[in-house]
Amino acid sequence: MRVLGIDPGVALTGWGVIEENSGSSTGLKMLDFGVVRTDKNVPHADRLALIYKEIQSIVKKYSPEIVAVEQLFFCKNLKTAISVGEARGVVLLVIAKAHIPIKEFTPLQIKEAVCGYGKAEKQQVQKMVASLLDMKDIPRPDDAADGLAVAICCANSVKIEQKINLNSVNT
């Protein structure tokens, strides 16, 4: 199973691609990660169009079987929340048009899945992402590490769902 995880944002949209790998200690392997970076001096609509185009390109390149997107959970600044919501909408549109299943997770769920603690600090999440994916270094920038964390959360969630479904069939 190949999973694309996305941490949406207008300035930086973090992403990471992982897949199942029985040769890894955690059963997961990192394929690639990065960010879609937009220029704050470019009109907002053009920034959203760039996010659309880049996420579309990533989907085409890696052909994920499932895409996980971080939910907008809480934001102190309403203007920022609206902007991030628009970036999320663009990401969800790309995925829906590609007919790929989408899973959405809150930051609390992602931290819980990666660190075992829903209120883990950003640096703890980054270190665990590197550890779980057998990476020598912490993925940079932070948003890319967050994209990988979303993918890990999704992969673990799907594994649990499969086990539950298998158990219910066998009983």
Q: Which residues are catalytic?
A: 7, 70, 143
Q: Which residues pair with 36 in a beta bridge?
A: 13
Angle at the Cα of 8 from the Cα atoms of 4 and 10, rounded to 5 degrees: 140
Residue with structure tokens 């930051």? 107
Round to whole Å and give the CA distance between 166 and 158: 12
